[in-house]
Amino acid sequence: MIYAAVQPEVTDPKAFAGKKVAILAAHGVQESELIFPYEFLKARGAQVDIVAPSWSEGRVLVVQYVRPTLWAQANETFTTAAAKTYDLIVLTGGAWNSTVVRNDGEAIKLIQAHARANRPVAAICSGTQILINADLTSGHRLTGTSTAKVDLVNAGATYLDQPVVVDDQIITSRSPEDLVPFVNAIAEALK
């Protein structure tokens, strides 16, 4: 699956200067859901860390649906990232990726500590299922891939079939087709 989302025009290359963002990823991360937000944030001056499990040895296998496409370098692990303060955490999709991240205790601790500090968490596609394991769904309005709808509802969320939903500090989006509204919501959260 190749998505044709076009990056929004960069009007201020220093819009996010001084902002630190963690994009959590594991093997099987959906290419567009990793690369698009990464490029969007970097083009506007944010420091962006790709944060992965320690056992992945500093890189994660990136896929288009299930077809491997490239390796992405990770510069932090879930454990080492816990010592940092991020302005935003992005939870990416990809079936393998979201399953690995949502079942990694260190990733969940990182996400929960970030949320407890009232800093935004953004999740796209199956990355929204990670919010379930982080106990960030109950009482929230969320969206995500349609295959996550039942899981999100069973975890206490109100599911909305919209391109992007912002509820308090949680930003969710349905799929790579919604990457532009997703990054625009991220931009608002970082202002």
CA 34, CA 144: separation in Å to the nearest integer? Answer: 16
Closest CA to 187 of 5, 4, 3, 8: 8
In this structure, is residue 13 part of a structural domain? Answer: no
Per the structure block, which two tokens stand in for 191? 């202002």
Question: What pLDDT was estimated at residue 18?
Answer: 97
Question: What pLDDT was estimated at residue 67?
Answer: 81
Give the contacts of 19 (CB within 8 A, at least 6 positions apart). 41, 45, 46, 47, 87, 88, 190
In this structure, is residue 125 part of a structural domain? Answer: yes
SS3 for 70? strand
49 in Cβ contact with 21 (< 8 Å): yes
In which band, very low, low, confident or very high, does the pLDDT at 4 lie, cut at 50, 70 and 90? confident
Closest CA to 28 of 68, 1, 57, 88: 68
In this structure, is residue 124 part of a structural domain? Answer: yes
Residue 1 has pLDDT above 50, yes or no: no
In this structure, is residue 8 part of a structural domain? Answer: no
Other CB atoms within a 10 A radius of the CB of residue 172 amount to: 32
User: At CB < 8 A and 24+ separation, what contacts does 9-15 make?
Assistant: 10/43, 10/44, 12/44, 13/43, 13/44, 13/45, 14/44, 14/45, 15/44, 15/45, 15/187, 15/190
Question: What pLDDT was estimated at residue 3?
Answer: 65
In this structure, is residue 69 part of a structural domain? Answer: yes
Strands 67-73 and 59-64: antiparallel
In this structure, is residue 163 part of a structural domain? Answer: yes
Count structural domains, the chain: 1
Question: What pLDDT was estimated at residue 64?
Answer: 87
pLDDT digits 0-9 by tens, 6-47: 999 999 999 999 999 999 999 999 999 999 999 999 999 999
Q: What is the CATH number of the domain that holds 168?
A: 3.40.50.880
What is the pLDDT averaged over residues 110-130? Answer: 98
In this structure, is residue 7 part of a structural domain? Answer: no
Q: The pTM is what?
A: 0.95
pLDDT digits 0-9 by tens, 78-108: 999 999 999 999 999 997 999 999 999 999 9
pLDDT digits 0-9 by tens, 128-185: 999 999 999 999 999 999 999 999 999 999 999 999 999 999 999 999 999 999 999 9
Give the contacts of 36 (CB within 8 A, at least 6 positions apart). 5, 7, 176, 179, 183
Task: Tell which phi-psi region holds residue 61, choosing left (phi > 0), alpha (psi between -120 and 50) or beta.
Answer: beta
In this structure, is residue 10 part of a structural domain? Answer: no
Paired strand residues for 90: 23, 122
Alpha-carbon distances, residue 131 vs 5, 47, 107, 157, 166 (angstroms): 25, 23, 11, 10, 14
As a dihedral over the C-alpha atoms of residue 124, residue 107, residue 102, residue 53, rounded to 10 degrees, the angle is: 100
Domain that holds residue 162: 20-190
Question: What pLDDT was estimated at residue 91?
Answer: 98
